[in-house]
């Protein structure tokens, strides 16, 4: 974060300098305006042309200073937005601006591992500024990569972006200004003016009106002729506008973006095009904006045409332009023509912009948490090793770190422990770090190695009143998904918390034993974690020593009070605390 603090210091200094400069220019501008007005009043009272010349010169200086102030105001706005971005980068979590989109990502592990909702992994990683970027990041977190080469390419892309901190601040500032919440900037894509040759009409009308103006200026602007000329011009422009009313209305609705917002898109595209990327994925993203034509060039043309077209909406000026030059008709045809050259390339640009926003979020995450490390992707299907691992949302300074290692075929770790001893947190530690690892991100561990496989979890099964399904029915449905995956030869990392807890103790034990036996005998590769309070289940270790190993979180009894040190150990727990906790909280006597 030190580099971002330096960037913040520089931007803050620039902001103060610009603000001071703006105030000074504003004061000078006011002086010029007052003096210009005084000389104009002197001209009016004395008819001395020198006063008029001085007043005009001073007023032109005033206009120049107004333009200068406007540019400084734009720079101040950018600096203020950049400071907001840096503040967001410095913060641990970013509030999800589009929580309603979470319903689009209903996979098997998101709710169990708090990937998108609540105090979530998404909020911890998210630095996206647009809705399309937010959607892309949620898509990545909800769809894991199980291809080793792809994960490594992601790691390289994130590492490259991590070093481009100044570029990242500018990129996120530009995307913040963009306010892009949809995957297209054009509402319609079909041409409404069937031929650009229609432009001949406004060109011909403009030439005729210019010729009339020149002629009337030569003969002294006779009032009668000028009146009929203006009347004829209004009639012609009104008739043509009415004739092309549907097309003009359609073109006006082509995009909801203003010229200024299109300029923001131009800035983003240019910023991406001008950067030097070396990693494969980042270079591919950049190429989308450069080939076959530069996105910034096409967007700038559309923006300029839109800005010129919008001049037709100005009072008085718009009337003159539309009456004598058919301004709206001419530039509507031109705007549509430019849009048609670009419309089919817009979606790939915005798709890749969203991907880059998500990549930048991962890059900032990797950069911020310096103790996190890139996991090693191994070729051995059964290997999973984590050293000094902890949950990425917990405070590293106080969290208890744990180790785990397996490299045996269809290995299942049965984890026992008292209530609140650390079992569920450990399961989520494994699960969330696997989600990070299979996205190409760093993990919260000193070291981690794994073989990429689909992730299956069953931690927070609930009943469903709307469908009438009981807790147990929903649990069975979820386990059926796991069985189907294994039958379809999809290797799995399985994380289960208290399976079959929706039934009686005897059925639960027998059902759990048979289910574990089924997993052990599965021809499909798997690694499993199962947390349970059922100590009878741990006896399966002696019956299946090559597949099952017992782990536990043990309690310590200090002065008749039970405490957990949250350390994972091999073996079976010896102490349970349910009765103690119920007495402690005065639920029972």
As for how many domains the chain has, the answer is 3
Kind and range of the H or E run holding 63: helix 49-90
Residue 267 sits in the same domain as residue 227: yes
Residue 352 sits in the same domain as residue 388: no
Is 280 a member of any domain?
yes
- pLDDT at 178 (0 to 100): 82
Kindly give the pairing relationship between strand 402-406 and strand 384-389. Answer: antiparallel
Q: Is 277 helix (H, G, I), strand (E, B) or coil?
A: coil
Contact 358, 133 (CB under 8 A): yes
Among the three residues 345, 368, 391, which one is the final residue of a domain in this structure?
368
Is 106 a member of any domain?
no
Is 448 a member of any domain?
yes
**Among 174, 169, 100, CA closest to 134:** 100
Rounded Cα distance between 560 and 497, Å, is: 28
Is 186 a member of any domain?
yes
Interior/surface letters 301-339, b for 16+ CB within 10 angstroms, e for the rest: bbbbbbebbbebeeeeeeeebbbbbbbbbbbbbbbbebb
Query: What angle is formed at CA 519 by the lines to CA 515 and CA 522, rounded to 5 degrees?
Result: 135
- pLDDT at 449 (0 to 100): 96
Owning domain of residue 509: 376-585
Residue 398 sits in the same domain as residue 290: no
Backbone phi, then psi, for 509, in 5-degree steps? -65, -50
Residue 362 sits in the same domain as residue 437: no
- Read out DSSP for 327-392? HHHHHHHHHHHHHHHHHHHHHHHHHHHHHHHHHHHHHHHHHH-TT-BPPEEPS-TT-EEEEEE--T
Burial degree of 435 (CB within 10 A; 0-12, 13-18, 19+)? buried
pTM of the model: 0.86
Residue 59 sits in the same domain as residue 192: no
**Among 151, 145, 129, CA closest to 360:** 129
- Read out DSSP for 191-208? -SSS-GGGGHHHHHHHHH
- pLDDT at 581 (0 to 100): 47
Contacts of residues 559-562 at CB distance under 8 Å and 24 or more positions apart, as own/partner, are: 562/418
Rounded Cα distance between 300 and 304, Å, is: 6
- pLDDT at 108 (0 to 100): 92
Contact 78, 72 (CB under 8 A): no
Residue 333 sits in the same domain as residue 463: no
Residue 425 sits in the same domain as residue 467: yes
CATH number of 496's domain: 3.40.50.300
| The residue count for the chain | 589
- pLDDT at 469 (0 to 100): 56
**Distance of alpha carbon 518 from the chain centroid:** 41
Is 40 a member of any domain?
yes
pLDDT in tens, the chain (589 residues): 788 899 999 998 999 999 999 999 999 999 999 999 998 888 878 877 788 889 889 989 988 998 899 889 988 998 999 999 999 999 988 888 888 899 999 899 999 999 999 899 999 999 999 999 999 999 999 999 999 999 999 999 999 999 999 999 999 999 998 877 666 666 655 677 877 778 899 999 999 999 998 988 888 888 888 888 999 999 999 999 888 888 888 887 777 677 777 888 899 999 999 999 999 999 999 999 998 889 898 888 888 888 888 888 877 788 888 898 888 888 888 888 887 777 778 888 889 999 999 999 999 999 999 999 999 999 888 899 999 999 999 999 999 999 999 988 899 999 998 777 789 999 999 999 999 999 999 999 999 999 999 999 998 765 444 444 566 778 888 899 999 999 999 999 999 998 877 667 788 888 889 999 999 999 999 999 999 988 889 999 999 999 999 999 987 776 667 678 899 999 988 776 555 544 555 555 5
Residue 35 sits in the same domain as residue 146: no
Residue 398 sits in the same domain as residue 347: no
Among the three residues 44, 70, 90, which one is the final residue of a domain in this structure?
90
Residue 274: which residues within 8 A CB-CB, separation 6 or more? none
Q: Verify cis geometry, omega within 30 degrees of 0, for the bond prior to 389.
A: no
Among the three residues 313, 335, 368, which one is the final residue of a domain in this structure?
368
Residue 268 sits in the same domain as residue 363: yes
> Within 10 A of 214 (CB to CB), how many other CB atoms are there?
9
CA dihedral 430, 433, 435, 439 (to 10 degrees): -150
Residue 209 sits in the same domain as residue 231: yes
- pLDDT at 559 (0 to 100): 64
Listed in sequence order, the DSSP H helices in 460-528 are: 471-487, 505-520
**Among 477, 493, 379, 474, CA closest to 427:** 493
Residue 16 sits in the same domain as residue 138: no
**Among 575, 220, 254, CA closest to 421:** 575
Is 3 a member of any domain?
yes
- pLDDT at 183 (0 to 100): 60
Listed in sequence order, the DSSP H helices in 185-311 are: 200-218, 223-243, 245-252, 259-274, 280-290, 295-310
Q: Count H helices, E strands: the chain?
A: 19, 10
Rounded Cα distance between 522 and 511, Å, is: 17
**Among 185, 192, 156, 212, CA closest to 374:** 156
Burial degree of 512 (CB within 10 A; 0-12, 13-18, 19+)? buried
């Amino acid at each position: 974060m030190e580099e971002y603090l330096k960037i913040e210091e520089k931007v803050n200094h620039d902001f103060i300098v610009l603000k001071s400069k703006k105030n000074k220019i504003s004061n000078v501008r006011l002086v010029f305006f007052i003096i210009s007005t005084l000389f104009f009043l002197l001209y009016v009272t004395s008819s001395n042309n020198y006063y008029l010349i001085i007043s005009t010169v001073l007023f032109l200086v005033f206009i120049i200073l107004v333009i200068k102030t406007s540019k400084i105001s734009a720079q101040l706005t950018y600096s203020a937005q950049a400071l907001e971005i840096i503040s967001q980068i410095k913060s641990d979590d970013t509030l999800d601006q589009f929580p309603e989109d979470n319903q689009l990502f209903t996979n098997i592990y998101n709710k169990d591992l708090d990937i998108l909702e609540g105090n979530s992994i998404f909020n911890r990683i998210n630095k996206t500024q647009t809705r399309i970027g937010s959607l892309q990041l949620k898509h990545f977190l909800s769809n894991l990569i199980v291809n080793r080469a792809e994960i490594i390419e992601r790691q390289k892309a994130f590492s490259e972006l991590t070093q481009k901190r100044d570029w990242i601040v500018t990129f996120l500032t530009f995307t913040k200004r963009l306010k892009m919440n949809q995957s297209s900037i054009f509402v319609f894509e079909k041409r409404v003016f069937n031929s650009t040759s229609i432009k001949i009409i406004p060109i011909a009308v403009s030439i005729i009106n210019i010729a009339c103006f020149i002629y009337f200026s030569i003969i002294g602007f006779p009032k009668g002729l000028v009146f009929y000329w203006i009347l004829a011009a209004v009639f012609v422009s009104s008739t043509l506008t009415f004739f092309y009313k549907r097309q003009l209305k359609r073109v006006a609705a082509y995009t909801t973006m203003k010229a200024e917002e299109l300029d923001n898109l131009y800035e983003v595209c240019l910023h991406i095009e001008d950067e030097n990327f070396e990693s494969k994925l980042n270079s591919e993203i950049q190429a989308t904006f450069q080939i076959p034509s530069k996105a910034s060039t096409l967007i700038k043309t559309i923006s300029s045409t839109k800005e010129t077209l919008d001049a037709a909406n100005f009072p008085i000026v718009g009337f003159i332009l539309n009456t004598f030059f058919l301004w709206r008709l001419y530039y509507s045809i031109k705007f549509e023509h430019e849009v048609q050259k670009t419309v089919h390339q817009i979606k790939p640009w915005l798709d890749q912009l969203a991907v880059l926003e998500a990549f930048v979020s991962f890059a900032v995450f990797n950069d911020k948490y310096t103790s996190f490390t890139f996991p090693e992707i191994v070729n051995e299907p059964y290997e999973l090793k984590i050293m000094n691992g902890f949950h990425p949302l917990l405070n590293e300074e106080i969290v208890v770190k744990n180790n785990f290692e397996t490299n045996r075929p269809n290995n299942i770790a049965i984890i026992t422990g008292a209530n609140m001893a650390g079992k569920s947190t450990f399961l989520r530690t494994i699960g969330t770090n696997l989600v990070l690892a299979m996205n190409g991100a760093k993990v919260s561990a000193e070291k981690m190695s794994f073989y990429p496989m689909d992730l299956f979890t069953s931690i927070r099964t609930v009943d469903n009143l709307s469908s009438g399904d009981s807790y147990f029915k929903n649990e069975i449905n979820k386990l059926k998904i796991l069985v189907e995956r294994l039958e379809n030869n999809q290797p799995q990392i399985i994380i289960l918390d208290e399976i079959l807890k929706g039934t009686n103790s005897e059925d639960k034990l027998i059902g759990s034993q048979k289910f574990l036996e089924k997993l052990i005998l599965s021809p499909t590769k798997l690694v499993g974690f199962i947390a349970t309070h059922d100590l009878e289940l741990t006896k399966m270790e002696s019956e299946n020593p090559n597949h099952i190993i017992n782990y536990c979180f043990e309690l310590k009894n200090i002065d008749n009070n039970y405490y957990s040190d949250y350390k994972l150990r091999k073996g079976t727990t010896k102490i349970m605390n349910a009765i103690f906790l119920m007495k402690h909280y005065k639920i029972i006597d």
